Copies of this chain bind each other. A is one copy, B any other.
Amino acid sequence: MSIQARRERERAERERLIIEAARELAETDGWEAVTTRRLAERVEYSQPVLYSHFKGKDAIMAAVAVEGCADLAAELRAARLAAGGPVEALAAIADAYSSFAERRPALYDAIFSQRVDLPFATPEAPAALQAAFGELLEAVRPYAGDDDLGLLTETLWSGLHGLVTLMRDGRLPREAHARRVAIFLDRFAR
């Protein structure tokens, strides 16, 4: 019995190791540098062990995404709680969102851009993801008015996502990002 437990513990440890290696590699060199070979080398195992933990590279990315989402949720929460009133909270959460995307692009991409099969807008969505969305939702609540709160939050999220992604891959001038966000929030909350 105990030996089975030890084995499972070791397996879980190694799984963590893989996820961390993937995240580190992605954050330093970008996702295109995250290959199964490099990953295997990092964790000091051969390639096939990765496939005993994850179905494939996509699943590894998904795992990294879920973890990263917890970080995002925490940052959003901190920003929201530190703010004085509803106006500041909305601005703070938008700022935290942008900041996360800028500081941790690889993580942001894994969560929101890369094609990776995570359940999103369903009850089966990872808790961290729901938590992050929940933070946005609370910031939006004061502005809901007659609109559906969930849909309105999704709209805010989409707006931020669009602003951030188009800016980050060079389709919108970076220097005006803050002003665009300000305009967006102003209209959103008006």
Chain A residues near B (Cβ < 8 Å): 112-113, 115, 117, 120-121, 147-148, 151-152, 154-155, 157-163, 165-166, 169-173, 176, 179-180, 183-184, 187-188, 190
Cβ of A147: which chain B residues have Cβ within 8 Å of it?
183
Which residue of the partner chain, among B117, B121, B162, contacts A162 with CB atoms under 8 Å? Answer: B162
Tell me if B159 and A184 are in contact (CB < 8 A): yes
C-alpha gap A159/B157 in the complex (Å)? 9
Tell me if B169 and A155 are in contact (CB < 8 A): no
Which residue of the partner chain, among B151, B162, B180, B184, contacts A180 with CB atoms under 8 Å? Answer: B151
C-alpha gap A188/B188 in the complex (Å)? 7
Q: A169-B115, A170-B120, A187-B187 are in contact. Are A162 and B158 (CB under 8 A)?
A: yes
Most B CB contacts (10 A, CB to CB) among A117, A160, A165 go to A165
C-alpha gap A165/B159 in the complex (Å)? 11
Tell me if A172 and B187 are in contact (CB < 8 A): no
Sorted nearest first, the 9 A-B pairs with minimum C-beta distance are: A162-B162, A158-B162, A161-B162, A158-B163, A120-B171, A159-B159, A121-B173, A155-B184, A155-B180
Tell me if A172 and B188 are in contact (CB < 8 A): no
Tell me if A158 and B159 are in contact (CB < 8 A): yes
Residue of B nearest to A160 (CB): B162
Tell me if A158 and B166 are in contact (CB < 8 A): yes
C-alpha gap A5/B92 in the complex (Å)? 61
Q: A121-B171, A121-B172, A172-B120 are in contact. Are A161 and B165 (CB under 8 A)?
A: yes
C-alpha gap A148/B155 in the complex (Å)? 22
C-alpha gap A121/B177 in the complex (Å)? 13
